[in-house]
A and B are shown apart, each in its own frame.
Chain A
Amino acid sequence: MAVPIEHSHGLPEDGKTVAPQFEKGDGPVERLILCCELGGSIVIWPTCVRPVSAEAGLSSRFVMSKSQTAKLPATVDPPGKRSGNLNRRPWWRRRIVRSLAVVGILLGLAWAFAIPSRLLQLQARRQLMNGCPHQAMNWLKWAGTLNGSTAELEFLKARTYRVQGEMNLARQHLEAAWRLGYPVEQLEREQVLAMAQSGQLRDTEPQLSKMLTDSRGDIADVCEAFVTGYLRTYRMRQAERILTAWLADSPSQPRSLILRAKMQIELLNWKSAEQDLRRVLDAVPYHAEAADLLAGVLLKQKQPDAALKVLPVAVKAPQTRLSAQLRQVECYRLQGNEEAAGQLLQSILIEFPDSLQAHLELGSVESDAGAYGPAIEQLETARKIAPNSPEVRYALAIALRGAGREAEASEHFEYVAEARKAVAEAMSLRSKVEENPNDASLRCHIGTVLLDHGQTERGLVWIQSALEINPGFVPAHERLATYYEGRAGESEEFSKLAVTHRKRSLTP
C-alpha cells in the first residue's frame, strides 16, 4: 500500500534538474520533496500533496532539492518499529494503519484529479453568484496555490476581475487562459461581456439575444454584464427590462438584487434600494458591498444611526473599507459629532493618504471648527487631487474666507458659481436627450460640461455614449484625447487611450 506523496517546498538550491528520487521507507506512506515544472515555467507548490502516478513520470519532470532532502523528517513512524513488524501489532493498530492508508489513497486520488482546486473554484463561483467577487478571488487564489494554474482557473480569474471592473487584469488572465488552451469561443464570449459591462454596447448589444438563448450556464453573467453596461450609460429602461426578467426567474438572487439596488440608487429610489440590499444581507450577512451600499442609502435618507449599525461588515472588508469608513464619518457629522468625525478622518488618512474625500471632509470639519489654517492645508491637498471639483473648491473658498483671504476665496467662489450653473444647464438638457436619444452632439456637450466641472465619471459616460451613437464623432474623440493626455502619466492604459482618441479625432 505504498502511495508516494509529493511535497514541494521550492526550487533546489543548485537549480539543477535531477531525476525523480523517492525516499523509500518501510511503511505504507512514502515522502517526496518535489518541485514541479509545468508548461515550460516553474510553478512552486509550497504545500502541494498529490499522488505520484505514472503521469507524474511522463508529463512532469521532477527535481529535488538536496538540501531539502537533507532537512526532511525521517518518516512518519520510526523505520525500526515498522519494518517487518506489522503482524506483531494488535489488530486494532493494524486497522488504524489500514484506515489511514485508505484515507491517504483517497486523498491522493482527490489530488490527482485536482478535486480540492475544483471545490475551491466552485466556492468562487458561488461567491460570484452572490455578487462577492472579492471573496471569489480569494478562493481562486487558494485554488491556484493548491493546484497551479489551469485554463479554467485563469478563465474564472478573468471573469472575477471583469466583474470587479479590473479590465486590464481581466484581459491578462483571459490571455493566460487562452495560452493554456481554454476554448476560444468561450474567451470571445467573455470579451463581449467585458465590453458590454464597460458600456460599449453598440457592438455588443446585437449579440445579447444570442448569448441569452445560448446561455452556456453563464446567463447570470450575461445579465449582469449588460445591466451594468446599461446602468453605466444611463439606459435605465433597458437595464430594468433585463433585471425584471432576471428577477422573475431568480427573485432572491443576491447578485441580481444588488444590481437592482444600484439601479434604484441611480433613480433615487432609496426605499426600494434599501429593501433589496436588506434582502441581500439577510441571505449573505458578510456581503460587504451590500452593507456599504445600504449604509449609503440610509445616509441619503438621513438615518445615520441605522447606517452605523450596518457599516462594520463593510469596514472589515478591504474593498469597501475606505468607502465604509467615509460613510461612518458622514454618520458622525449628521449626528453633529464633529469630534468623532475628525478623529476617524485622521486615522483614515494614515491608512489611505491619497483619499480625496477624506482630505475634503477633514478640511470641512476643521473649517467648521474655525481652524482655518489646518482646513486650508487639507483642502489644498484635496484640490491637488481633484482640481476641478466644485465641492473641494467651495470648501476651500469657505476656509479661505474664514482665514481672511478674501481675494483667493473669491476666485474659488466664482468657479463654483460658474460650475454649478453650467452643470445645471447641462442637466436640464437631459429631457432633450430623451426626445432625441441619437443626438451624439448633445450627449457630447453634456459630457464635456460635466467633465470640465469635476464630474469626471459622469462626463466620461456621456461622451462615451456619444461615441456609441456615432463612433467617428470628432468632438467626442477630441475631448477624450485631451482628458487622457492629461492623465497619460498615470498609467499606460491612459496613455494608449490618449493616442487612440487623438488619432480618431484627426482622422474621422
Chain B
Amino acid sequence: MSSQHGPTIEAHDPKTKGHRPPGFAVLGLTWKIVVAVAVLSGCQGCSGRTGSDISRPEADPDPPRFQFVDDTEASKIDFTFRSGAEPSYAPILQDLGGGCGLLDFDRDSRLDAFFPGGGHITRGEEPQSYPHGLFQNQGAEGFRDVSNVSGSAESRHYSHGVAATDFDADGFPDLVVTGYGGLQLFHNQGDGTFHEQAQASGLTDGQWSSSAAWGDVNGDGHPDLYVCHYTDWSLTNDPVCQGLAPDRPESCPPAQFKGLPDTLYLSTGMGRFEDVSGAAGLRQDGKGLGVVIADLDSDGDADIYVANDTVANFLYRNEGGEPGSGPRFTEIGVESGVALSDKGTADGSMGCAVLDLNQDARPDLWVSNFEFETPGLYRNDGKLRFTHITRIAGLARHSSSYVSFGTVAADFDGDGDDDVMVANGNISRYPRNGHVLQPCQLFANLGNSKFHEVTSNAGACLSVPHLGRGLALGDIDGDGDPDVVLSSKDERVRIFRNNLKSQIQWITVHLTGIRSPRDGCGTAITQIRGGRRLTSWIYGGQSYLSACSPEYCLPESPTAADLELEILWPSGRVQRAHRISSKDPWSVDQGACTQSQDRLFFIEPWK
C-alpha cells in the first residue's frame, strides 16, 4: 500500500502477515479498485389486569420471587401462527406475526385460548389465509382443540390480531379478528359455536388492520371498537428491499410506506356498528400497531392511546360530545408527552399497556419499542400530562437489541405493584445487530418508580428465545395468579404458567356490567387498606394483536385484614365490598357480590 505503512493488526488476520511486497499490494489493490469503479460506473445509475396487595416486601434489586414454567406440553395446545414466509420473498406483511386471546367463551370459569392463523403470500398473488385456532380449557385435562366444531377456524383473510368482548351483552364473549383485507366478527352463540358476521354487523373495514380494542367511548354501555391500521403496502406497492446480500431479502422498513388512518366503530347497541372515524376526529395518518382504551384523565370517559410504528403515537382525548352526536376526540399526543421519546423523536412503537407504576391512582403508560430504542414509560402527572421516565426508572439500559412487541403489566409476584413482561423477536431475517430469536423480558417494579430486569431469575422458560409477537395475560390454570400466553411467528405458542412460591393467596375478581359493558371494561378497582389506596383498571386493548382476560387477579396475604374494594363502574356507579379478615365473607353495600372458592363475582348495581 504505497510508502505509507501504518501499523497493521496482523494478529487478527494471519493471511496478511507480510509475505507480499508492498508494490504488489499496491498493484493488486489498484486493479481491484479500478475494476470496482468500472463496475460502479456501469451500475450508476378490553383486557383485564391484576391488582396489588398493599403490604409489600422491601425492594430487592434482583428478587428471586418470580417463577414461570413452560406448561405448553401439559396444556396440549399445539398451534402455530404461520406467516407464510418464503426464502426469496419478504413482504412487510409477514413481519407483523400473530397475537393470542384469552377468553372464557363457554362460561365455565376457565380461560380458553384463541389464536389467529396467519396466512401465505406469493409475490403478485392475493394473500391466502390459514385457519384460526380455538382451544377449550378443560382444567386438569389440558386444552382441547375446538376450532372446527366451534366454527371459529374459518379465516377469510391473512390474519394477525384478536380482540374479545361480549359486544351484544348476551353473556358470552365474542371475537374480532384483524388482518390484511378485512375484519372478522365471530359472534358467540352461547352453544359453543361462533357465527361470523362482520359484514352484516357493519364492520366493513377492508384495510390492513393490526390491533383492535373494545371500549365504551360514548358511555352508552355498548362496547365500541377501535381498529388500528398499518401501512399502504399492497400487491401493487410491494417494493423490493435489499438485505445484506442479494440472496438474503429483507422486508422494506415501514418508513417506506404511508400510514393508514385508523377506524372507530360505534356500536348501535343492536348488534351493528357504524364507522364514525371522521366525525369523531380521528387523524388521517398513523401506523398503528397497539391500542388501549382507558380513562386516562379519570374524567369518566374513555380515551384512546395508539402505539404507532416509526411515527408519533396518538393520544385521543375524549371530549364527550353532544347527546346523539357521537363522541368527539382531540389528538393531543405530542403536547401530552406520550407521542415521542424523551428526545422528541418518534419510536417504532408496537405494543402498549396501562399500569399504575407509582400507586397514585393515575393510569400510566408502557410502550414496547423497536431495537435500540428504549421502552416508553410515561408517568401520568394528571390532566393528561405525562412525563417520559424510562431513564429515571432505570429501564434505558435494558432495551438493547430486542425488538419488542407484545407487553402486559401485572403484579406477577403479588408484591403490590405492577411488573411488566415483554415479548421480543426480530423482524429481520438476517439481523445486522441482534439475533433473530429473542427471549421475553420481565421487569420487576421495585416500588420506587424504578424497574429491574429479572428475566434470568424468573424461570428458564422466559430466557428461551422466540420470534415473539403476541402476549396475553390471564389466570389460565385457575390458581388466581396471572399467567401468560406467548404467540410467536412460525413457532408453536407457549404457555408460561406463573408458579409463584409464596404465602400469597390470590382471588380472581370477575365483573358483570349492567349499564356498563358486560365484561366490566372501563372499570376502576381500588383496594383500600390501612388508609392506602391502590387502583387498577379493566380496560380495552393492551399488548400487541392480543386479547387479555378481563378478570382481575387480587393478591392477598393470609394475615392481611380489613380489606375494602371500591369498584367504580364506567356508568359512574360505585360499589364497595368489605371484609374483616381473609376468613370472613365479603359484604357489599349495593349490587351483588358472591364468592366461590377463590373467585369473587361482582354485578354492577342498578342504582
Total interface residues on A, CB under 8 Å, equals 81
Say whether A198 faces chain B, with CB atoms less than 8 Å apart. no
Say whether B149 faces chain A, with CB atoms less than 8 Å apart. no
Residues on B with beta carbons closer than 8 Å to the beta carbon of A428 = 255-258
Q: Are A335 and B39 in contact (CB under 8 A)?
A: no
Stretch of B30-38, B355-363, B479-487 with 4 or more beta carbons under 8 angstroms from chain A: B30-38
**A254–B465 alpha-carbon span in the complex (Å):** 36
Say whether A75 faces chain B, with CB atoms less than 8 Å apart. no
Q: Which of B1, B45, B257, B285 contacts A253 (CB 8 A)?
A: B1
Which chain A residue has the least Cβ–Cβ distance from B231?
Answer: A428
**A284–B5 alpha-carbon span in the complex (Å):** 14
Which chain B residue has the least Cβ–Cβ distance from A401?
Answer: B385
Q: Are A420 and B397 in contact (CB under 8 A)?
A: no
Residues on A with beta carbons closer than 8 Å to the beta carbon of B310 = 424
From B7, B285, B339, name the one whose CB has the most chain A CB atoms within 10 angstroms: B7
Knowing A212-B33, A304-B397, A338-B392 are in contact, say whether A252-B13 is a contact too (CB < 8 A): yes
Q: Are A252 and B9 in contact (CB under 8 A)?
A: yes
Say whether B59 faces chain A, with CB atoms less than 8 Å apart. no
A396 to chain B, nearest CB (A): 10
Say whether A270 faces chain B, with CB atoms less than 8 Å apart. yes
Residues on A with beta carbons closer than 8 Å to the beta carbon of B5 = 126, 129
Say whether A313 faces chain B, with CB atoms less than 8 Å apart. no
Contact with A along B505-523 (1 / 0, CB 8 A): 0000000000000000000
Q: Are B312 and A417 in contact (CB under 8 A)?
A: yes
**A251–B9 alpha-carbon span in the complex (Å):** 8
Contact with A along B5-23 (1 / 0, CB 8 A): 1111111110110000000
Q: Are B1 and A245 in contact (CB under 8 A)?
A: no
Residues on B with beta carbons closer than 8 Å to the beta carbon of A280 = 9
Say whether A238 faces chain B, with CB atoms less than 8 Å apart. yes
**A107–B301 alpha-carbon span in the complex (Å):** 91
Which chain B residue has the least Cβ–Cβ distance from A304?
Answer: B397
B349 to chain A, nearest CB (A): 13
Say whether A347 faces chain B, with CB atoms less than 8 Å apart. no
Knowing A209-B34, A219-B1 are in contact, say whether A401-B335 is a contact too (CB < 8 A): yes
Residues on A with beta carbons closer than 8 Å to the beta carbon of B36 = 241-242, 244-245
Say whether A272 faces chain B, with CB atoms less than 8 Å apart. yes
Q: Are B346 and A420 in contact (CB under 8 A)?
A: yes
B residues 277-310 in Cβ contact with A at 8 Å: 285, 310
**A420–B37 alpha-carbon span in the complex (Å):** 38
**A428–B394 alpha-carbon span in the complex (Å):** 33
Residues on A with beta carbons closer than 8 Å to the beta carbon of B1 = 219-220, 249-250, 253
Q: Are B29 and A416 in contact (CB under 8 A)?
A: no
What are some 24 contacts across the A-B interface (CB < 8 A)?
A: A205-B41, A212-B37, A215-B2, A237-B43, A245-B36, A269-B432, A269-B433, A270-B372, A271-B432, A280-B9, A334-B396, A336-B397, A368-B392, A390-B345, A393-B344, A395-B344, A401-B337, A414-B334, A417-B339, A420-B312, A421-B311, A428-B256, A431-B256, A437-B45
Q: Are B340 and A218 in contact (CB under 8 A)?
A: no
A residues 449-483 in Cβ contact with B at 8 Å: none
Contact with B along A416-455 (1 / 0, CB 8 A): 1100110010011011000001000000000000000000
**A126–B385 alpha-carbon span in the complex (Å):** 57
Q: Which of A218, A246, A252, A398 contacts B16 (CB 8 A)?
A: A252
**A417–B308 alpha-carbon span in the complex (Å):** 14
Contact with A along B312-345 (1 / 0, CB 8 A): 1000000000000000000000110101101111
Q: Are A249 and B340 in contact (CB under 8 A)?
A: no
Q: Are A302 and B399 in contact (CB under 8 A)?
A: yes
Given contacts A249-B32, A252-B9, 8 further A-B contacts (CB under 8 A): A129-B4, A215-B30, A245-B29, A368-B392, A394-B344, A420-B345, A421-B311, A431-B239
**A334–B398 alpha-carbon span in the complex (Å):** 9
Q: Are A125 and B4 in contact (CB under 8 A)?
A: yes
Say whether A23 faces chain B, with CB atoms less than 8 Å apart. no
Pick the 9 closest A-B CB pairs, nearest first: A129-B6, A394-B344, A249-B29, A252-B9, A245-B32, A217-B2, A283-B9, A252-B8, A241-B36
**A131–B4 alpha-carbon span in the complex (Å):** 12
Say whether B400 faces chain A, with CB atoms less than 8 Å apart. yes
Say whether B44 faces chain A, with CB atoms less than 8 Å apart. yes
Chain B, interface size: which category?
A: 35 or more
Which chain B residue has the least Cβ–Cβ distance from A280?
Answer: B9
Q: Which of A126, A368, A398 contacts B6 (CB 8 A)?
A: A126
Contact with A along B40-57 (1 / 0, CB 8 A): 110111000000000000
Q: Are A302 and B344 in contact (CB under 8 A)?
A: no
Residues on A with beta carbons closer than 8 Å to the beta carbon of B433 = 268-271, 301
B362 to chain A, nearest CB (A): 16
Q: Is the interface of A mostly helix, strand, loop or mixed?
A: helix
B382 to chain A, nearest CB (A): 12
Q: Are B335 and A219 in contact (CB under 8 A)?
A: no
Which chain A residue has the least Cβ–Cβ distance from B38?
Answer: A209
B214 to chain A, nearest CB (A): 29
Say whether B391 faces chain A, with CB atoms less than 8 Å apart. yes
B520 to chain A, nearest CB (A): 34
B residues 354-413 in Cβ contact with A at 8 Å: 372, 374, 385, 387, 389, 391-394, 396-401
Q: Is the interface of B mostly helix, strand, loop or mixed?
A: loop
A residues 260-274 in Cβ contact with B at 8 Å: 267-272
Say whether B560 faces chain A, with CB atoms less than 8 Å apart. no
Knowing A215-B26, A417-B334 are in contact, say whether A254-B2 is a contact too (CB < 8 A): no
Q: Are B344 and A390 in contact (CB under 8 A)?
A: yes
Say whether A410 faces chain B, with CB atoms less than 8 Å apart. yes
Q: Are B6 and A212 in contact (CB under 8 A)?
A: no
Q: Are B4 and A336 in contact (CB under 8 A)?
A: no
Say whether A147 faces chain B, with CB atoms less than 8 Å apart. no
Residues on A with beta carbons closer than 8 Å to the beta carbon of B387 = 368, 398
Say whether A118 faces chain B, with CB atoms less than 8 Å apart. no
Say whether A139 faces chain B, with CB atoms less than 8 Å apart. no
Residues on B with beta carbons closer than 8 Å to the beta carbon of A334 = 391, 396-397
Q: Which of A246, A302, A393 contacts B33 (CB 8 A)?
A: A246
Say whether A504 faces chain B, with CB atoms less than 8 Å apart. no
Q: Are B340 and A416 in contact (CB under 8 A)?
A: yes
Q: Are A252 and B10 in contact (CB under 8 A)?
A: yes
Q: Are A238 and B7 in contact (CB under 8 A)?
A: no
Q: Are B12 and A416 in contact (CB under 8 A)?
A: no
Q: Are B334 and A249 in contact (CB under 8 A)?
A: no
Which chain A residue has the least Cβ–Cβ distance from B372?
Answer: A300
Which chain A residue has the least Cβ–Cβ distance from B22?
Answer: A217
Residues on A with beta carbons closer than 8 Å to the beta carbon of B37 = 208-209, 212, 241-242
**A343–B39 alpha-carbon span in the complex (Å):** 53
A residues 342-379 in Cβ contact with B at 8 Å: 364, 368
Say whether A61 faces chain B, with CB atoms less than 8 Å apart. no
Say whether B596 faces chain A, with CB atoms less than 8 Å apart. no
Residues on B with beta carbons closer than 8 Å to the beta carbon of A242 = 33, 36-37
Say whether A391 faces chain B, with CB atoms less than 8 Å apart. yes
Say whether A161 faces chain B, with CB atoms less than 8 Å apart. no
Say whether A130 faces chain B, with CB atoms less than 8 Å apart. yes
**A245–B44 alpha-carbon span in the complex (Å):** 18
B317 to chain A, nearest CB (A): 14
Residues on B with beta carbons closer than 8 Å to the beta carbon of A268 = 432-433
Say whether B28 faces chain A, with CB atoms less than 8 Å apart. yes
Which chain B residue has the least Cβ–Cβ distance from A254?
Answer: B6
Say whether B235 faces chain A, with CB atoms less than 8 Å apart. no
Say whether A128 faces chain B, with CB atoms less than 8 Å apart. yes
From A241, A246, A303, A393, name the one whose CB has the most chain B CB atoms within 10 angstroms: A241
Which chain A residue has the least Cβ–Cβ distance from B10?
Answer: A252
Say whether B252 faces chain A, with CB atoms less than 8 Å apart. yes
Q: Are A253 and B6 in contact (CB under 8 A)?
A: yes
Say whether A143 faces chain B, with CB atoms less than 8 Å apart. no
**A125–B5 alpha-carbon span in the complex (Å):** 8
Say whether B597 faces chain A, with CB atoms less than 8 Å apart. no
Say whether B25 faces chain A, with CB atoms less than 8 Å apart. yes
**A244–B33 alpha-carbon span in the complex (Å):** 9
Q: Which of A213, A304, A413, A437 contacts B44 (CB 8 A)?
A: A437
